[in-house]
Amino acid sequence: MWAFIKQLKISRRSIRSVNVSPFACFLILVPTLVFGQSIANLQRAGNGPMPESILSTRVFVFTDYTFTEKEINTLHAGLVKTGIDAVGYTQADKLFAGADITQAFVKYLQNREVGNLVFAFKNNAGYELMISPLVVVESNTLTIPADVWKTQHRLLDEALMILYRTALAGRRKQNLLINEVPEIDLMIPVFTGNRNELFAYDLKVDYLAVQKFGNEKMDSELEEIMKSYPFKYKLVDANLPETELRKQGSAYLLRHIHTRGPAAKQLLGYDLSKGESALVSVTYPNGQEQIKTIAADVEVHKFYVRHIEFGHVFLGPKWDADTTWQQALKNFIKGLRNEMKVN
């Protein structure tokens, strides 16, 4: 369920004004397992130069989910002072929550003609700011250059001052009419088809494609769990294009999201009460339905099915996310069997 690619062809549209060598990038694999791995890969990037287009193109900002509204306002004020046109803000873990999610963000960013990405994180040492060109490969996989501009300081204001001095060194402000109020937590349209809180009854006759992880142990676990799936399915390599899956007879694709519970529910279009400290999920640890309460800041896994050709999404009638991908998949299959009355 990793979105792999074989060749690193850079989409011209995605890097119009950014001069980035494809060999100077590493892939941010579209994760459906551990979003932390992608954020960690991003943070492990080396120190690089400030993008030359930083004061002439739009940027989108991804922050640590622990950022307060006050911190975002401070961050935005610093970017405006520098001359950086930040057109939107959301949490970084949403960007890496799953293959469908990342691809939806890529499409959104390209449609808004975003040229650079700003990442802002908090850690024990203070605040870390990173700036990278938006680079997208042909299969809508987001990539990050192996070296990105970054700075860190105990105080956010001081980190922003370093950014200010670096960006204006040898560059002049070209962005006009910058919005002085940050657009916070924009809703990104994730799905192109209809969203359904039920199971697709066509699964009784149509094949479900299930992408392997590319990890021997995990693929073995996946194969074993899928034996309880009551209908027709195919285990397929993750690098097969969806058009090829359709040619091979699969009408549906099993998908997976992994992030904090509230973020997962928001991305999948569920109503969410602001400030909920915990989420209630249905689980089947011993084959029997149980209610499980999961803290809001805990990462969860949630499976769903998407129609390959039309993009219709089927989430199931109950929120069945869980803290491991294995149990989340078991929950999904057991819920499907119950709903379709399969013994």
**Residue 322 phi, psi (nearest 5):** -145, 175
The three-class DSSP label of residue 219 is helix
| E-only strand ranges, 187-298 | 195-196, 207-211, 233-236, 250-260, 278-283, 290-295
**Residue 334 phi, psi (nearest 5):** -65, -40
CA gap 250, 335 in Å, rounded = 22
- What pairing do the DSSP bridges indicate for beta strands 195-196 and 313-314? parallel
Judge contact between 239 and 6, C-beta under 8 A. yes
What is the pTM (predicted TM-score) of this model?
0.85
- Say how far residue 160 (Cα) sits from the centre of its chain: 26
Judge contact between 81 and 164, C-beta under 8 A. yes
Quote the pLDDT of residue 274.
64
Quote the pLDDT of residue 255.
96
Quote the pLDDT of residue 3.
34
CA distances (Å), origin 140, targets 19, 24, 136, 207:
18, 18, 6, 25
Judge contact between 153 and 159, C-beta under 8 A. yes
Judge contact between 301 and 328, C-beta under 8 A. yes
Quote the pLDDT of residue 144.
72
- Domain ranges in the chain? 13-167, 195-339
The three-class DSSP label of residue 240 is coil
CA distances (Å), origin 192, targets 33, 66, 195, 266, 284:
23, 30, 9, 16, 31
- Say how far residue 137 (Cα) sits from the centre of its chain: 16
Judge contact between 121 and 53, C-beta under 8 A. no
**Residue 291 phi, psi (nearest 5):** -100, 135
pLDDT in tens, the chain (343 residues): 333 222 223 333 333 334 444 334 444 434 333 345 577 777 888 899 999 999 999 999 999 999 999 999 999 999 999 999 999 999 999 998 998 998 899 999 999 999 999 999 998 999 999 999 988 776 566 777 788 999 999 999 999 999 999 999 988 898 888 999 999 977 888 999 999 999 999 999 999 999 999 899 999 999 999 999 999 999 999 889 999 999 999 999 999 999 999 999 999 999 877 667 789 999 998 888 999 999 999 999 999 999 999 999 999 999 999 999 999 999 999 999 999 999 7
